[in-house]
Amino acid sequence: MSDNELMHHIDMKKGDVGRYVLLPGDPGRCELIASYFENPQLIANKREYKTYTGTLLGEKVSVTSTGIGGPSTAIAVEELSMLGADTFIRVGTSGGMQPDLVPGDLAIVTGAIRDEGTTLHYMPVEFPAVANIECTIALRDAAIRLKKPYHLGISQSKDSFYGQHAPERMPVANHLLDRWKAWKMGGAICSEMEAATLYIVSSYLRRRAGGIMLIQANQESEDRTVVYDLSDLLQVSTEALKILIEQDRKKG
């Protein structure tokens, strides 16, 4: 591809994005996330893909929304990678899956259950969706540094929001309920819709990827609080990028 060729979906060319990219789902969150950058500029806004680029510690960084779910996430990661991005941090919201998890806590996703269809177009189901260890440690260290409550663990990446929240009205209700029970018994900490795709696509592209989710609510807890404040989530994810930038500079 030429340097001036625009990516078909994300509507950007080489030089428009940094190697480090935060990936929310919601385009409406991009401006807020970009406010944590130095000198952020709106670069593109097409379909579900909205991008701001700025700097952190003098390094070019970006935020690009992926939309909801695996297919649009895969497109974003593929096209961003073609433009030179090599480090991705998924920044999103999730539902808690263990009764002791408090809404407002952060879930650092070490791996994801591939309970979706997009990744089957990349790798056989036996191949695990695992986060990059450098990204995971950076997220953990950022949470510790900022004194934010966090949990390390596995997420369930699913294709159907209402399959989780209203499984009893689905024709495959028993199947959904049995699998949800299995994920919980296995220790999964949260449910979301993009991490598995991000991890599988990044693995095959030889890119680094990690994920951090706000536990926005927890249907397995008696606490029915719903948290909308993204401050802890964005502070930790931005701090993690700074840690990665500093570590990469030391590598030379």
Question: Would the pLDDT of 223 be above 90?
Answer: no
Question: 98: exposed, middle or buried (C-beta count within 10 Å: 0-12, 13-18, 19+)?
Answer: middle
The mean pLDDT value of the chain amounts to 97
Phi, psi torsion values for 144, nearest 5 degrees: -65, -45
**% the chain with pLDDT above 70:** 100
Q: Over 80: is that where the pLDDT of 3 sits?
A: no
Query: For 20-251, CATH number?
Result: 3.40.50.1580
- Average pLDDT on 150-166 reads 96
Place of tokens 């495959």: 172
pLDDT tens for 40-79 read 999 999 999 999 999 999 999 999 999 999 999 999 999 9
Q: Strands 59-64 and 129-130, how do they pair?
A: unpaired
Per-residue pLDDT band for 252 (boundaries 50, 70, 90) equals confident
Using the predicted structure, report yes or no on whether residue 2 has a pLDDT greater than 90: no
Q: Rg (Cα) of the chain, in Å, rounded?
A: 17
Task: Give the rounded percent of residues in the chain with a pLDDT score beyond 90.
Answer: 96
Q: What is the pLDDT of residues 97-152, one digit of tens each?
A: 999 999 999 999 999 999 999 999 999 999 999 999 999 999 999 999 999 999 99
Task: Give the pLDDT confidence score for residue 120 in this predicted structure.
Answer: 98
pLDDT for the residue 4: 83
Q: Residue 23: which residues within 8 A CB-CB, separation 6 or more? A: 63, 64, 65, 66, 73, 76, 77, 88, 89, 90, 91, 194, 198
For the chain, the structural domain boundaries read: 20-251
* Residues 18-41 pLDDT 10s: 999 999 999 999 999 999 999 999
pLDDT for the residue 232: 98
CA atoms within 13 A on the CB side of 180: 25
Say what the pLDDT of residue 208 is. 98
